[in-house]
A and B are shown apart, each in its own frame.
Chain A
Amino acid sequence: MAILLNHVSYVYQAGTEMAVTALNDINLKIPDGQFIGLIGHTGSGKSTLVQHLNGLLRPTKGALYYDGEEYYSQGFDLKRLRSKVGLVFQYPEHQLFEADVFSDVCFGPTNLGLDRKEVELRAYTALKQVGIEDEYFYQSPFELSGGQKRRVAIAGVLAMKPDVLILDEPTAGLDPKGRDEILDQIKALQKESGITVILVSHSMEDVAKYVERIIVMNKGGVLFDDIPQKVFHEYEKLEEIGLAAPQITYIMNRINKELLPVSTEVKTIEEAKNEILRAMRLQHD
Chain B
Amino acid sequence: MGIIKTSKLIFEYIRRDEDGNVEGITRAIDNVDLDIQQGDFIAILGHNGSGKSTLAKHINAILYPTEGTVWVDGKDTSVEENIWDIRQKAGMVFQNPDNQIIGQLVEEDVGFGPENMGVPTKEIRERVEESLKAVGMYEYRKHSPNRLSGGQKQRISIAGVIAMHPKCIIMDEPTAMLDPNGRKEVIRAARALHEVEGVTIVLITHYMEEAVFADRIIVMDEGRIEMQGTPKEIFSQVEKLKELRLDVPQVTLLAHELKKSGLKLPDGILTIDEFLYELERITGKQNTPGKMGIL
A258 to B48 alpha-carbon distance, docked (Å): 40
Partner of B173, one of A13, A173, A176: A173
B140–chain A nearest beta-carbon distance, Å: 9
A176 pairs with B148, CB closer than 8 A: no
B96 pairs with A146, CB closer than 8 A: yes
B257 pairs with A269, CB closer than 8 A: yes
B257 pairs with A273, CB closer than 8 A: yes
A265 to B166 alpha-carbon distance, docked (Å): 45
B261 pairs with A273, CB closer than 8 A: yes
A89–chain B nearest beta-carbon distance, Å: 10
A247 to B271 alpha-carbon distance, docked (Å): 10
Q: Please give me the residue from chain A that is nearest to B248 by CB atom.
A: A176
Indicate whether A12 reaches chain B with its CB closer than 8 angstroms: yes
Interface size class of B (residues with CB under 8 A): 35 or more
Question: Number of residues in A with C-beta < 8 Å to the partner?
Answer: 58
Indicate whether A251 reaches chain B with its CB closer than 8 angstroms: yes
A145 to B257 alpha-carbon distance, docked (Å): 33
A247 to B275 alpha-carbon distance, docked (Å): 12
A242 pairs with B180, CB closer than 8 A: yes
A93 to B150 alpha-carbon distance, docked (Å): 13
A284 pairs with B179, CB closer than 8 A: no
Most buried by A among B181, B251, B257, B258: B181
Given A47-B150, A145-B49, CB of A243 within 8 Å of CB of B247: no
Given A145-B49, A178-B47, CB of A242 within 8 Å of CB of B179: yes
A6–chain B nearest beta-carbon distance, Å: 25
Closest 10 interchain pairs by CB?
A42-B151, A147-B48, A177-B245, A176-B247, A242-B181, A244-B180, A247-B250, A43-B149, A172-B176, A175-B47
Interfacial residues, chain A to chain B (CB-CB below 8 A): 12-13, 18, 20, 40-43, 47, 90-91, 93, 139-140, 143-148, 151, 169, 172-179, 202, 204-205, 239, 242-244, 246-248, 250-251, 254-255, 258-260, 269-270, 272-273, 276-277, 280-281, 283-285
Beyond A41-B179, A139-B24, A146-B173, 11 additional pairs, beta carbon < 8 A = A90-B177, A146-B53, A148-B48, A173-B48, A174-B48, A176-B247, A178-B47, A202-B183, A247-B209, A247-B272, A251-B250
10 examples of A-B residue contacts, CB within 8 angstroms: A18-B143, A41-B151, A47-B149, A143-B15, A169-B177, A175-B46, A246-B250, A247-B251, A255-B276, A259-B283
